[in-house]
Amino acid sequence: MKLTWLGHAGFRLEIENAVILIDPWLTGNPTFPEARRDEAVKGATHILLTHGHGDHSGDALALSRELDAPVVGIFDLISYWEGTEGIAGIGFNKGGTVDLGGAKVTMVNATHSSSISGPDGPIYAGHESGYMIAGEGHVVYVSGDTDIMADMDWMGDLHKPDIGILCTGGHFTMDMARAAYAARRYFDFKTVIPCHYKTFDALEQSAQVLIDGLPGVDVVEPRIMETIEL
């Protein structure tokens, strides 16, 4: 399994027979090197979205058309785009599981908000979500944008993820300290990878609080466009 950070909350996950772009926001992302765009998206088979906000879904439609790859996510947003944008989609809902090239992707809860920009203001984009992605002997929890939730208790117990990709930047989501608390209380991660930080001044710039808060856990600070082997 290979994981590559695309900056902010975006990742390229190579798992089983799938190459999944998670929340790909490349255009206008101040931390993503535009010169490496082709490398970042090459061979992608699916585009997986946690919610509609532009810093997560900004390149989804363009990439879907360019790569002939379906956009996968909450039914409300995907069905809307299928009807208005003509893209291929796989819409499902919380508790549902889809097979993406042999990887089993289950949608789970998150607590945040979700909208896309419309001509007259924000448009409802279905509920925010996270994912449990099972494959190659691992379960990866992609938290999406969220705060701590009591739901994390049963999510950790039922799915038993060993890898956590957690939002940690604060201001819009849980911060490093809250993410560390959630990881300690609700999960038994072997590896934790922070995201949704460093992008803007309002967000946390260092993962040291997360590292200090998770002794015995391999907290990997990702570097943009450097691949992590898991």
- Cα torsion through 166, 197, 168, 218, rounded to 10: 60
Query: What is residue 114's predicted lDDT score, i.e. its pLDDT?
Result: 97
Query: What is residue 183's predicted lDDT score, i.e. its pLDDT?
Result: 98
The residues facing 104 across adjacent strands are 99, 134
Distance CA 81, CA 184 (A): 38
Query: What is residue 174's predicted lDDT score, i.e. its pLDDT?
Result: 98
Query: What is residue 104's predicted lDDT score, i.e. its pLDDT?
Result: 98
pLDDT in tens, 88-102: 999 999 999 999 999
Query: What is residue 158's predicted lDDT score, i.e. its pLDDT?
Result: 98
Query: What is residue 94's predicted lDDT score, i.e. its pLDDT?
Result: 98
**CATH number belonging to domain 2-225:** 3.60.15.10
Distance CA 230, CA 212 (A): 22
Query: What is residue 86's predicted lDDT score, i.e. its pLDDT?
Result: 96
List the domain boundaries for the chain.
2-225
CA of 155: how far to CAs of 91, 93, 101, 115, 189, in Å? 21, 15, 23, 25, 13
**Residues of the chain whose pLDDT is less than 70?**
none
